[in-house]
Amino acid sequence: MRLITFFILILVMVLCSGNAVAQEAFIDMKSTHFMVRYTLPEESAAALEVLSKAEQILDRISRDIGFVKYTDFWTWDKRVKIILFPDQISYTRFTGQAQWSRGYASRNSKLFRDRVVVTYNGQAEMNSAILPHEIAHLVFWDLLGQNYAAAPEWFEEGIAQLEEQDKRDIVREAMRPVVISGKHIPFHVFMNLKPSEMQDETQVSLFYAQSLSVVLFLIEKYGQDSFYRLSKELRNGCKFEIALTRVYGGIFTSMSEFESRWLKYAAGDGG
Residue range 120-149: average pLDDT? Answer: 88
- For residue 19, pLDDT over 80 is answered with no
Contacts of 255 (CB under 8 A, 6+ apart): 187, 188, 191, 241, 244
Average pLDDT estimate for 125-147? 88
pLDDT at residue 21 tops 60:
no
Res. 6: pLDDT tops 50: no
| Mean of pLDDT values over 30-51 | 94
Spell out where the chain has E strands. 27-30, 34-38, 80-85, 103-106, 116-120
Which residue ranges make up each domain of the chain? Answer: 2-145, 151-266
pLDDT tens per residue across span 103-122: 999 866 555 557 899 999 99
* pLDDT reported for residue 22: 44
Cβ count within 10 A of residue 266: 24
> What is the pLDDT at residue 192?
92
Split at pLDDT 50, 70, 90, the class of 14 is: very low
Q: Distance between CA atoms of 225 and 193, rounded to whole angstroms?
A: 27
- The angle, 0 to 180 degrees and rounded to 10, between the axes of the packed helices 255-266 and 167-180 is 110
* Average of per-residue pLDDT values in the chain: 85
Least confident range from 63-67, 199-203, 237-241: namely: 63-67
Is residue 40 exposed (0-12), middle (13-18) or buried (19+ Cβ within 10 Å)? Answer: middle
pLDDT at 202 over 80: yes
Cβ partners under 8 Å of residue 28, min gap 6: 35, 36, 37
CATH of segment(s) 2-145: 3.30.2010.30
